[in-house]
Chains A and B, each alone.
Chain A
């Protein structure tokens, strides 16, 4: 048994024993759980994949004369202005003004909010165009200027949802190609897509949210950020395997960090043909080894994590609740799974390679005392189930 304070004292003394969630698997196998739990202080987890629920709050500072921006476009991508005078929220999935979207199917979605975010983190110049109705204290009615990330007072990445605990494997049973947020799915189960770092992914290594909670310090695209709440659609009460690991979506995290500290390598705009724009971000989260149980769960292997195969031609869009069976991440990572006796080629949207690199970077940060672990100020709910949206006939109900 160790405490957060003891682990942090070792980190500060640069004596902490840190392993990635991949390395720890073999280590526990070799040393045994008890000995490994006594030796290892921190396990680093990571993930890199698209997460649509991403965006950033930007503060521009004030022009002379002042403007209270009521409509704004950043490189022609609309930003939300229903907040203070020169604050905006730029959402990752917002399309550029005039983008034909899926008018000519499948749309290409070559530029959107995520691309503006990527440009900002790369230090590139972005155009602000803003309109206002004008007030006595903010008389300017229109503004057009160019800025970089450095010019802003604040640029705060805010992901209402990130780090989905687990996720569907998508296939297509129909006889035409379909275009989804899990990529292009060829007809008659010709290919499958999954999107998780599996044994490296944060919440698959802490399935009951024992160490990752509100207030946990995280590595977000190279910046030190925090978990500011449960993520949207967080659902602790899902079907779990015997080892406690969800076999479907499960928990999510809401994350935030300073964009000015981010490394562009880990902030990548995503164009999903026929679907839209998204943003892929690198996330690393340390798991303090407080006891043997926590280590046991952090040593989970791909072969012990199940994902549910879902038909995105029928069952997903119509929410029938049906599935086509379950497969392990070991099978997914082999490049081929079996669905109803048929061999299906597998691709991923999540990068294991990048996740591993992030887990190593976070490990190095902890080993050198630059990143400490933090006790959550509040745990994420384990018992809450998912609410669907009812379509009601009238305003008066209940």
Chain B
């Protein structure tokens, strides 16, 4: 039976020296992965960041990640490039119409407390510009 493909989000941090390697190209070509980049800031001579979805079989993704790590790039599966500060959030809900994927939404309409779902966030940064209480910020 063929292995089933799945999709997962990764946050890559590039130290200063590794930014000129065509890493994404190799992920596609050598490791058979589908890559969906949400946001990237990879500038020569500076540290870089890349937030992307990888789609592929468990095996291919594991091999791909291993390949990425050989460049001293750190792979974070838990975090993304958008920070939501629960302490600064006042749960006003002003962000709701500005979040296209409902990553920021009320947990339930009756309770009205805002919750952030990182897996739904596409890093459009709309909330960063909008939040009146400065609860949202970008790592890069």
Identify the A interface with B (CB < 8 A): 48-50, 106, 110, 183-184, 186, 190-193, 268-273, 278, 280, 333-335, 345-354, 356
Closest beta carbon of chain B to A112's beta carbon, Å: 12
CB pair B96–A349 under 8 Å, yes or no, is no
Chain B, residues 86-103, CB within 8 Å of chain A (1/0): the string is 001011111111100000
Determine if A183 and B134 form an interchain contact, defined as CB atoms under 8 angstroms apart: no
> B109 contacts A350, CB within 8 Å?
no
**Residue contact B97 to A347, C-beta cutoff 8 Å:** yes
Nearest 9 pairs of A and B residues by beta carbon: A191-B97, A353-B91, A345-B97, A351-B92, A351-B90, A347-B97, A270-B132, A347-B94, A348-B93
The answer to whether B112 has its CB under 8 Å from any CB of chain A is yes
In the assembled complex, the Cα of A233 lies from the Cα of B93 at a distance in Å of 27
Q: Are A183 and B94 in contact (CB under 8 A)?
A: yes
Q: Which residues of A contact B90 (CB under 8 A)?
A: 48, 268, 280, 351, 353-354
| Chain A residues within 8 Å of B113, by CB | 353
Q: Which residue of A lies closest to B92 (CB)?
A: A351
Cross-chain contact A333 with B97 (CB below 8 angstroms):
no
Q: A191-B98, A354-B90 are in contact. Are A349 and B112 (CB under 8 A)?
A: no
- Chain B residue at minimum C-beta to C-beta distance from A344: B97
Q: Chain A residues near B91 (CB, 8 Å)?
A: 351-354
Could you jot down 27 A-B contacts, CB within 8 Å?
A: A110-B134, A191-B97, A192-B97, A268-B88, A269-B133, A270-B132, A271-B132, A271-B134, A273-B129, A273-B130, A280-B90, A280-B133, A333-B109, A333-B112, A335-B106, A345-B97, A346-B97, A347-B92, A348-B93, A349-B92, A349-B132, A351-B93, A352-B112, A353-B91, A353-B111, A353-B114, A356-B112
The secondary-structure label for the interface of chain A is strand
Add 17 more A-B contacts to A49-B92, A271-B132, A352-B91 (CB < 8 A): A50-B132, A184-B98, A191-B97, A191-B98, A192-B97, A270-B132, A271-B134, A273-B129, A280-B132, A333-B109, A347-B92, A347-B96, A349-B92, A350-B92, A352-B112, A353-B112, A353-B114
Closest chain A residue to B106, Cβ basis? A335
| CB contact list, B44-63 vs A, under 8 A | none
Closest to A280 in B: B90
For B131, the closest partner residue in chain A by CB is A271
Give the docked Cα–Cα distance between A190 and B92 (Å). Answer: 18
B residues within 8 A CB of A183?
94, 130, 132
Q: In the complex the two chains form, what is the Cα distance from A273 to B96 in whole Å?
A: 16
User: Which A residue sits closest to B134, measured CB to CB?
Assistant: A271
B residues in contact with A186, CB < 8 Å: 97-98
Q: Which residues of B contact A333 (CB under 8 A)?
A: 109, 112
Shortest Cβ distance from A185 into B: residue: B97
Q: A184 contacts B96, CB within 8 Å? A: no
Taking the nearest CB of chain B, how far is it from the CB of A182, in angstroms? 9
Contact B133 A268 (CB under 8 A): yes
Residues of A near B129 (CB, < 8 A) are 106, 184, 273
For A335, list chain B residues within 8 Å (CB).
96, 106, 109
Distance from A180 Cβ to chain B, minimum over Cβ atoms (Å): 11
A184 to B132, CA, bound (A): 10
Over the window 112-130 of chain B, the binary record of Cβ atoms lying under 8 Å from chain A Cβ atoms (1 yes, 0 no) is 1110000000000000011
Query: Chain B: which residue is nearest A183 at the CB level?
Result: B94
Q: Nearest-CB distance from B107 to chain A (Å)? A: 10
Chain A residue numbers with a CB within 8 Å of B94 are: 183, 193, 347-349
Complexed CA–CA distance, A355 and B71 (Å): 51
Q: Is there contact, CB below 8 Å, between B132 and A190?
A: no
Complex CA gap A273/B113 in Å reads 23
How far apart are the CA atoms of A216 and B57 in the complex, in Å? 67
Set of chain A residues within 8 Å of B109, measured between Cβ atoms: 333-335
A191 to B93, CA, bound (A): 12
Instruction: Kindly list chain B residues whose C-beta atoms are within 8 Å of the C-beta of A271.
Output: 132, 134
Q: With A49-B92, A354-B91 in contact, is A347–B132 under 8 Å at CB?
A: no
The CA of A272 and the CA of B133, in the complex, are separated in Å by 8
For A268, list chain B residues within 8 Å (CB): 88, 90, 133
Q: Which residues of B contact A192 (CB under 8 A)?
A: 97
Q: How far is the CA of A272 from the CA of B130 in the complex (A)?
A: 7
Give Cα A347 to B126, complex, Å. Answer: 14
Q: How far is the CB of A367 from the nearest CB of chain B, in Å?
A: 23
A345 shortest CB reach to chain B, Å: 4
> Which of B92, B129, B130 is the most central at the interface, judged by chain A CB atoms within 10 Å of its CB?
B92
Q: How far is the CA of A183 from the CA of B129 in the complex (A)?
A: 10
How far apart are the CA atoms of A273 and B94 in the complex, in Å? 13
Contacts of A110 in B (CB 8 A): 134
Question: Which B residues are CB-close (under 8 A) to A350?
Answer: 92
Of chain B, the residue at the smallest CB distance from A334 is B109
A273–B132 Cα distance when bound, in Å, is 8
Query: Chain A nearest CB: distance from B68 CB in Å?
Result: 35
The answer for the CA separation of A193 and B97 in the assembled complex, in Å, is 9
Are the CB atoms of A272 and B92 closer together than 8 Å?
Answer: no
